[in-house]
Amino acid sequence: MRQSDAHMQLIDARKRKGLTLEELATKTGVHKSTINRLERGETIPMEDTARALEAALGLKRGTLIFRRQVA
């Protein structure tokens, strides 16, 4: 699966905040491996996970809209 805009936005927002995967995991309660898979475009999050990431990263609600990529 290739990275979508939302996956890239997640990476960019985390880096802009200066957070490591571990720090973002602690702030959100989302497991570090899940965030890593999201950033690599290997999975899409449940809605509550996306909202937790948006809140922790200071993003407007609905910014991270993940879609499955069609091959």
* Rounded CA Rg of the chain: 11
Does residue 30 fall inside a structural domain? yes
For 11-66, what is each residue's pLDDT tens digit?
A: 999 999 999 999 999 999 999 999 999 999 888 888 999 999 999 999 999 888 77
Does residue 64 fall inside a structural domain? no
Global pTM value? 0.84
Q: d(Cα 60, Cα 26) in Å, to the nearest integer?
A: 20
Instruction: Please give the tally of structural domains in the chain.
Output: 1
Q: What is the widest separation between alpha-carbon atoms in the chain?
A: 34
Q: 1: pLDDT confidence band, cut at 50, 70 and 90?
A: very low
Does residue 20 fall inside a structural domain? yes
Q: Which of 44, 46, 64, 45 is nearest to 54 (CA)?
A: 64
* CATH code of the domain containing 25: 1.10.260.40
